[in-house]
Amino acid sequence: MAVWNGIRDFFSSLWAGIKTLFTTVVTAISTFLVGAWNGIRATVMAVWNAISAFFGSVWNGIRSVITNVVNGIRTVITTVMNAIRTVISTVWNGIRTIISTVLNEKPNPPAMLGRME
């Protein structure tokens, strides 16, 4: 039985060594892969953030130009409409004043007869 115990102890130690070696190798590979992945991820995120910031700036510039153009067109249209409204109102008020003056004038037949002569 002593021989058997020696064989058992030998293989038990051998198995423990294999397990320790395997665990060490797997841990080293895992640590390396996690570190590599984190590095790749950080690089991709930095590149993505730079691209995103660039296109965000481009979009904001385009939006600003379009907003300014639309506001300019709106201002021109508003100014023209107000000018047209003012002209129409002035002409209409002039017509109303003329009609009101003609309708409110009291006829003076003797004066009219004197003009006919």
Q: Is the pTM of this model over 0.75?
A: no
CA–CA dist 81, 87 (Å, integer): 10
**CA dihedral over 29, 32, 35, 36, signed as positive or negative:** negative
pLDDT at 33: 97
Averaged pLDDT of the chain: 91
Print burial letters for 22-40: b (CB count within 10 Å at least 16), e (below 16).
eeeeeeeeeeeeeeeeeee
**Amino acid 68: pLDDT:** 98
More confident: 23 or 3:
23
**What are the C-alpha distances in Å from 61 to residues 44, 47, 48, 56, 68?**
26, 21, 20, 9, 11
Looking at residue 25, its pLDDT comes to 96
pLDDT of residue 109: 58
Higher per-residue pLDDT: 43 or 108: 43
User: Please, which pLDDT band fits residue 3 given cuts at 50, 70 and 90?
Assistant: confident
Tens-place pLDDT, residues 73-113: 999 999 999 999 999 999 999 999 988 888 777 666 555 55
